[in-house]
Structure 1
Amino acid sequence: MGLSGPVLAAIVWVLAATLTALLPIRRQYVPGITLLVLAPVLILWLAVVHGWVWGVLGLAAFVSMFRNPLKYIYARLRGRTPEVSE
């Protein structure tokens, strides 16, 4: 019994996110945005193949990892100009 496609993709995504976090902040933008955009697709794929519980767990992990960028996006959508750490 091997790994399913979405689980293997999730493992690769987590490794890529970890490597991105090790980069200097100014070099994190492009890979970070790419990971941010791909995450909902991956979470939905996990939920469809393995059930909604795994989708919810994936969403919780995603929100935990990307809490600061998500706070920034939320503030911008509300018309505020949030501070950005350098």
Structure 2
Amino acid sequence: MTPSLVLACLWALAANVIAMTPSRDHHWRNAYILIAIGIPILGYVTMQHGPWVGLLVLAGGCSVLRWPVIYLMRWLRRGGRDMDVRGPAE
């Protein structure tokens, strides 16, 4: 197995272990850290194995970090406006 896929598997293992631990902020801080670490790993996998394997690794990462992806999709659907639920920022 190539180093990029080993790193991707270790990232997935760490993400699943983190998901099993209790957290006061519902794992948002951990999600930001996992995203910051996962993006370079995704680029490395794509560079070594091509876009199709990169898309598979991306899909795996999105399945682990599904709530940040859901909130991103909601934000994009609104056109990138402010995320404040009370209305537009003044």
TM-score, length-scaled by structure 2: 0.72
- Residue 18 of structure 1 pairs with residue 16 of structure 2: yes
2:84 aligned to 70, 81, 84, which one?
A: 81
Question: Could you say if the C-alpha distance between residues 78 and 61 of structure 1 is closer, same or farther in structure 2, counting changes exceeding 3 Å?
Answer: farther
What fraction of aligned residue pairs are identical, expressed as a percent?
A: 25
Give the corresponding residue for 1:4.
2
Match of 1:66 in 2: 65
Shifted more, 43-52 versus 61-70: the winner is 61-70
Query: 2:51 is aligned with what amino acid?
Result: W
RMSD (Å), alpha carbons: 2.1
Structure with the greater alpha carbon radius of gyration: 2
Q: What runs of 5+ residues in structure 2 fail to find an aligned partner? A: 86-90
Which one has a larger percent helix, Structure 1 or Structure 2? 1
Could you say which structure has the greater relative contact order, defined with CA pairs below 8 angstroms and 6 or more residues apart? 2
Task: Give structure 1 regions of 4+ aligned residues with deviation exceeding 3 angstroms.
Answer: none
Partner of 2:88: none
Which residues in structure 2 correspond to 1:29-44 (within 5 Å)? 29-44=28-43
Answer with 54-63 or 30-39: which moved more: 30-39
Instruction: Give the gaps of 5 or more residues in structure 1.
Output: none
